[in-house]
Amino acid sequence: MASLPAPAQPGGPPVLIGGNSALARARAARNQGWSPLMVSPEVARTSRTPGIATVAELAARITEVRDAAAAADNAPLTIQVHTPQAGFMQRCGSAEEHRDHLGQLADAGVDSFVLRPPGDDLDRTIEALHRYADTFVKG
């Protein structure tokens, strides 16, 4: 069986394990990365994963996963987080608060951040991504 076209990245894309449970974190340490969901305990109940409500709690879990990966000679890992700020583009929020949030995530050990642009219209999505890049990537 052949997969065509072949992945652009040798070896294919990294496998990031999602979920906040101890089992998910252990799996992430044995794979290429972890994609936690930073949510309150109330939201966690509907997503069937333990809540991670604060950046400090996220940082502690990231350290745990990275330490387990290092102990298994499986480092480095990619950490990609989904936080309530993922929908920043749909809400009116302070760019400075968002920058601060991204800085806190970086300090916690996060490598990348899930961004949810508006998805109701392709032109609106593209425009929002350009606006975000102009504000947070290029600036």
Q: Give domain status of residue 6, yes or no.
A: no
pTM for this one?
Answer: 0.85
C-alpha Rg value of the chain to the nearest Å? 17
Domain count, the chain: 1
Nearest in space to 65 (alpha carbons), one of 113, 114, 115, 17: 17
Tell me the pLDDT of the chain (139 aa) as tens digits: 777 787 787 877 888 999 999 999 999 999 999 999 998 777 788 888 888 989 999 999 999 999 999 999 997 899 999 998 888 776 767 888 889 999 999 999 999 999 988 888 999 999 989 988 988 886 5
- Which neighbouring-strand residues pair with 33? 16, 78
Residue 2 lies in a domain: no
26 occurs within a structural domain: yes
